[in-house]
């Protein structure tokens, strides 16, 4: 077509015209700049003025774009009719078009989310695009994908629309378009699925060199080839979108976006969207779905399941039975006032989390065995009635009866109160010991330790939650457990009963550094927003960077000194995978302990469910197996740490020379050369190592009455073991 640029300048006197950007059957697009606003635009010029059908479509596109104010839809600035010219003035998209090469799956899914959300905005206004294809997916200068060219959009007058004419691109055309049948939101979703199929697999659904009639017949009658090299859940969303019958596809673009978001989270981890490399501007409901992963049972079934096909090509692996997560309503629950003296309840899933916390990782043999966690991790009754504890106990009794009735295994719930020390950490010549029975933390200097001695540094002796901002000795704690000390002498306490990490500064003031919020950790948040489950282990660097193991959520989070929290190790899905790759992509199963070496560049994780110790290089973020081969122990002395099985591990400690201490069924170490050495034949729930090689251990044993008690031991650098009074 020949366009008189002078006529366009006359119609748009405020614009300076530039080069031609493209042309097609619709007409052409010319670059321009608004002189006063200094804004770059693109001017779309109707190619066949005088054609009533084309003019009607052009006006319809203008109306559609004027109503669609969405970050992933091209923005309309103006519509002008002048002396037979029909002009659309739109934002200029300088980022180019969508290439049809195979891309990273996270990138493809992020693009799918953006486009689906844009289509949802159109569908809510009863507009079908009818021509979703790569040519109509362009990018702004910052990389944001935009849906363009609503020139053949269909206005849905009722609940359905019929295709009265053959429009669209055969390669991306839905079967009902080809058959001039009933259209709906699924029509655009089919086309989007064709695009995503190509991006995820690197190949088209059907050969692009097919003649148009053969291509249309393929869409009508041929099943799409499978997607074996794509994660199962993601492939399932795309293949459902390619169903021949529109009623078999996702009913809305919103449901498509939610399905794709949750599938990507389960397949690539809760932080996949941040790693996608594509700006995505969607609402909080879709973003929450992109962060969430499925809840996972705390024991392995005898049948097992395959893991999704992960990007690094791991072989099929047994996976815990996966429970589908409840659909999001997009609404926050109403705030409730906590009982006096108690921290706010973390949410409606707390009973489930309580039970999950008590279930240890399953043996790899596949038999169902339920054994008790260390008793100090179990919630104990207090002077105040606890409805949650009562409900948990009743439910636990029912589960016990069922298990016994099935003849599978039995378990001993043990005493609810275990007196004695729990967490222990050494800082120079100072030893800190937590005492959950007294709801206190004590400090002992120069190695003089006794149960009634030392100095109370935190806890009034009353179980509960209070005191933030005041003196730590006046605060209430609930089941204080693991401890850590940073380079400035600040003490960190895993306040397990309150689902918080508390910090006691050198001047004796206490505060919450993480926990107490309402949101599960699925992306970068502030520590005050996070709702912890039960923090079974903590570690802290000399600079005050805190690490927290969340067993039930199968991940390790990192808390920066400014309160920024992020999931650093694990996707949140239970399983094993990721060695040699980024720790955030890895799969963990019920991690029970973390430890940091003194320089802070090595993080060790007790990956209990996988019977391994994993090592993370903090600088690069890569993860590997440090000890254990995945089989159930016992850990053997004088062999390479990766050459044998590993039993229960509840605590870790690392020293400057590269030695890693493990406490569980007994206490052992892995020396810098990678060999296993004995430390103490004690069932160890906590340990600490001083710079001179002295090891303090908290052992869980039985007294003469058969009750479990905690006892504190010291092992000298020469190997002499001494029980300390408590």
DSSP assigned state of 134: G
- d(CA 410, CA 557) in angstroms, rounded, equals 34
Are 382 and 437 a contacting pair, CB within 8 Å?
no
The rounded distance, in Å, linking the Cα atoms of 155 and 138 is 23
In terms of Cβ atoms closer than 10 Å to its own Cβ (0-12, 13-18, 19+), residue 36 is exposed
CB atoms within 10 A of CB 75: 17
The residues, ordered by sequence, that sit 6+ positions from 256 with a Cβ below 8 Å of its Cβ are 112, 116, 189, 192, 237, 241, 249, 250
Rg of the chain in Å (alpha carbons): 31
Which residues make beta-bridge pairs with 13?
none
- Backbone phi, psi, residue 201, to 5°: -105, -20
What is the CB neighbour count within 10 angstroms for residue 410? Answer: 11
**Can you say how many angstroms the Cα of residue 650 is from the centroid of all Cα atoms in its chain?**
24
Cα(456)–Cα(472) distance, rounded to whole angstroms?
A: 9
Tokens 């086309």 label which residue? 191
> How far is 487 from 429, CA to CA, in rounded Å?
14
How many other C-beta atoms are found inside a 10 Å radius of the C-beta of residue 117?
A: 24
At 264, is the secondary structure helix, strand, or coil? Answer: helix
Instruction: Give the CA distances from residue 227 to residues 237, 313, 461, 722, in Å, rounded to whole numbers and listed in that order.
Output: 11, 14, 60, 61
* Cβ neighbours for 6, distance < 8 A, ≥ 6 positions apart: none
Nearest to 26 by CA among 145, 122, 152: 152
Quick one: 9 exposed, middle or buried, by C-beta within 10 A (0-12, 13-18, 19+)?
middle
Please name which of 572, 466, 479, 551 lies closest in space to residue 516, comparing C-alpha atoms: 466
For 85, half-sphere exposure in the C-beta direction (CA atoms, 13 angstrom radius) is 23
One DSSP character per residue, 86-115 reads: EEEEEE--TT-B---S---HHHHHHHHHHH
DSSP 684-699: EEEEEE-TTS-EEEEE
Q: How many CB atoms lie within 10 A of CB 113?
A: 28
> Which residue's entry shows tokens 């609404």?
331
Residue 199: closest CA among 274, 281, 137, 128? 137
Does the annotation place 44 within a ligand binding site?
yes
Which class for 273: exposed (0-12), middle (13-18), buried (19 or more C-beta within 10 A)? buried
* Beta strand spans in 528-601 (E): 535-540, 546-550, 555-559, 564-569, 591-596
| Residue 188, C-beta contacts closer than 8 angstroms, at least 6 positions apart | 119, 122, 123, 128, 129, 130, 132, 174, 253
How would you label 290-317 residue by residue, b for 16+ Cβ within 10 Å and e otherwise?
A: bbbbbbbebbbeeeeeebbbbbeebeeb
Residue numbers in the known binding site are: 44
The annotation places the binding site for ATP at 44
């Amino acid at each position: 077509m020949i366009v008189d640029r002078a006529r366009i300048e006359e119609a748009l006197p405020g614009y300076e015209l530039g080069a031609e950007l493209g042309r097609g059957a619709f007409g052409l697009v010319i670059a321009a700049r608004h002189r006063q606003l200094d804004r770059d635009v693109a001017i779309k010029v109707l190619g066949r003025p005088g054609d009533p059908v084309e003019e009607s479509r052009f006006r319809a596109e203008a109306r559609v774009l004027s109503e669609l104010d969405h970050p992933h839809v091209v923005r309309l600035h103006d519509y002008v009719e002048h002396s037979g010219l029909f002009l659309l003035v739109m934002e200029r998209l300088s980022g180019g078009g969508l290439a049809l090469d195979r891309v990273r799956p996270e990138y493809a899914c992020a693009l799918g989310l953006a486009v689906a959300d844009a289509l949802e905005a159109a569908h809510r206004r009863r507009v079908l695009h009818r021509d979703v294809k790569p040519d109509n997916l362009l990018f702004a200068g910052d990389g944001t994908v935009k849906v363009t060219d609503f020139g053949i959009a269909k206005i849905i007058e009722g609940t359905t629309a019929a295709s009265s004419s053959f429009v669209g691109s055969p390669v991306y055309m839905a079967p009902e378009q080809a058959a001039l049948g009933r259209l709906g939101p699924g029509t655009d979703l089919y086309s989007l699925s064709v695009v995503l199929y190509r991006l995820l697999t690197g190949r088209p659904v059907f050969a692009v060199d097919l003649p148009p009639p053969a291509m249309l017949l393929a869409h009508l009658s041929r099943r799409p080839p499978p997607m074996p090299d794509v994660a199962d859940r993601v492939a399932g969303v795309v293949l459902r979108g390619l169903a021949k019958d529109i009623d078999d596809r996702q009913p809305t673009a919103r449901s498509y976006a939610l399905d794709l978001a949750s599938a990507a989270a389960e397949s690539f981890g809760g932080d996949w969207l941040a790693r996608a490399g594509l700006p995505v501007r969607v609402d909080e409901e879709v973003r929450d779905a992109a962060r969430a992963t499925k809840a996972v049972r705390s024991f392995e079934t005898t049948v097992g399941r395959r893991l999704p096909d992960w990007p690094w090509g791991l072989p099929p692996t047994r996976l815990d039975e996966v429970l589908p997560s409840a659909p999001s309503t997009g609404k926050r629950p109403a705030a409730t006032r906590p009982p006096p003296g108690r921290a706010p309840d973390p949410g409606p899933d707390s009973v489930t989390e309580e039970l999950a916390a008590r279930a240890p990782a399953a043996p790899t043999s596949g038999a169902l065995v339920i054994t008790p966690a260390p008793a100090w991790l179990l919630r104990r009754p207090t002077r105040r009635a606890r409805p949650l504890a009562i409900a948990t106990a009743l439910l636990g009794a029912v589960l016990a009866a069922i298990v016994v009735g099935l003849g599978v295994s039995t378990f001993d719930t043990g005493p609810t109160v275990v007196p004695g020390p729990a967490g222990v950490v050494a800082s120079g010549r100072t030893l800190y010991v937590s005492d959950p029975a007294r709801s206190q933390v004590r400090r002992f200097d120069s190695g003089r330790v006794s149960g009634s001695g030392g100095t109370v540094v935190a806890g009034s002796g009353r179980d509960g939650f209070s005191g933030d901002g005041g003196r730590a000795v006046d605060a209430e704690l609930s089941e204080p457990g693991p401890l850590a000390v940073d380079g400035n002498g600040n003490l960190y306490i895993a306040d397990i009963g309150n689902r918080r990490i508390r910090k006691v500064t050198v001047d004796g003031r206490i505060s919450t550094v993480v926990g107490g919020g309402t949101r599960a950790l699925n992306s970068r948040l502030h520590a005050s927003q996070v709702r912890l489950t039960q923090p079974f282990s903590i570690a802290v660097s000399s600079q005050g960077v805190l690490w927290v193991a969340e067993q039930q959520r199968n991940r390790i989070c990192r808390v920066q000194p400014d309160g920024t929290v992020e999931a650093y190790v694990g996707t949140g899905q239970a399983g094993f995978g990721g060695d040699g790759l980024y720790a955030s992509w890895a799969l963990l199963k019920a991690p029970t302990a973390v430890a940091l070496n003194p320089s802070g560049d090595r993080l060790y994780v007790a990956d209990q469910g996988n019977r391994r110790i994993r090592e993370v290089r903090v600088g690069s973020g890569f993860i590997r197996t440090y000890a254990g081969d995945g089989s159930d122990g016992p850990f053997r002395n004088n062999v390479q740490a990766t050459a044998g099985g590993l039993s229960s591990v509840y605590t870790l400690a690392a020293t400057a020379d590269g030695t890693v201490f493990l406490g569980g069924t007994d206490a052992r170490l892995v020396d810098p050369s990678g060999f296993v050495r004995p430390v103490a034949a004690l069932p160890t729930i906590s340990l600490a190592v001083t710079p001179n090689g002295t090891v303090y251990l908290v052992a869980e044993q039985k007294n003469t009455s058969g009750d479990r008690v905690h006892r504190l031991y010291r092992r000298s650098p020469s190997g002499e073991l001494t029980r300390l009074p408590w």
